[in-house]
Amino acid sequence: MKSFLRYILITALLTPVFAHAQFESVKDSVVQLYGVVMTADSLKGIPSVSVVVKGQNRGTVTNNQGVFSIVVLKGDQVEFTSIGYKAKLVNIPHNLEGNQHSIIQLMVTDTVYLPATILKPRPTRQQFERDFINTQIPDDDITTARKNNDATKRRMLMATLPTDGREVTSNYLRTNAAKAYYAGQAPPQNIFNPFAWSEFIKAWKRGDFKRKN
């Protein structure tokens, strides 16, 4: 019991010391980073430059004169980005003395070379009219749907396209159902049925009996 009380007493005495040391360590690692971002060729302040601590969700932007200020930690990496300029990455030294650091960051223009485009007019008015009339305009969705639902095109697709698994299964089930329906008796003969002959002639004209590849 005495040893336990001694442990509690020592812990209570040392905890403020450890907390104070940890606070001093964190306080010493915090750095107030400030400065100005300018162009490398004319030394003009660049507004609205993003100043972000890499890997963290902390950052700021420069004002109209290119001035910025942000709190970072020693060892952080600060990235400067702006449209039209090459990105810059600055490392905050671990052994930086003090808690303030100022920099003047120069940014170089990011030049992008696009392929040359030559614009030239039509040679003659007659050629322009000919090309305009002969230009093939692609079908819109409604026109494509109408063409796909055309009866002639659907009959052609039915006659030329091979049957898929669903059609084969449906045909097999219908055949077995007909056999089971007339099991034990003679199936009816439709040779003298005028409606059956009418459907047969229509199917023959549509090409339903053509062999499918």
Check pLDDT > 60 for residue 16.
Answer: no
Cα gap 111→115, rounded to integer Å:
13
Check pLDDT > 50 for residue 18.
Answer: no
- CATH number of domain containing 97: 2.60.40.1120
**Domain presence at residue 35:** yes
pLDDT tens per residue across span 143-177 = 888 888 888 888 887 778 777 788 888 888 888 88
Task: Phi first, then psi: give them for residue 100, nearest 5 degrees.
Answer: -135, 145
Tell me if residue 39 falls in helix, strand or coil.
strand
Query: Can you list the pairs that 27-32 forms with residues at least 24 positions away whose Cβ atoms lie under 8 Å?
Result: 27/99, 28/99, 29/73, 29/74, 29/75, 30/71, 30/72, 30/73, 30/99, 31/71, 31/72, 31/73, 31/74, 31/92, 31/96, 31/99, 31/100, 31/101, 32/69, 32/71, 32/99, 32/100, 32/101
The answer to whether 85 and 109 have CB atoms below 8 angstroms apart is yes
The answer to whether 147 and 139 have CB atoms below 8 angstroms apart is yes
**Domain presence at residue 195:** yes
For residue 210, the one-letter residue type is K
**Domain presence at residue 198:** yes
pLDDT tens per residue across span 67-103 = 999 999 988 999 999 999 999 999 998 888 888 899 9
**Tally of structural domains, the chain:** 2
Domain's final residue, options 107, 133, 151: 107
**Domain presence at residue 19:** no
Question: Which of the pair, 40 or 10, is modelled with greater confidence?
Answer: 40
Give the domain range for residue 174: 125-206
Cα gap 161→145, rounded to integer Å:
19
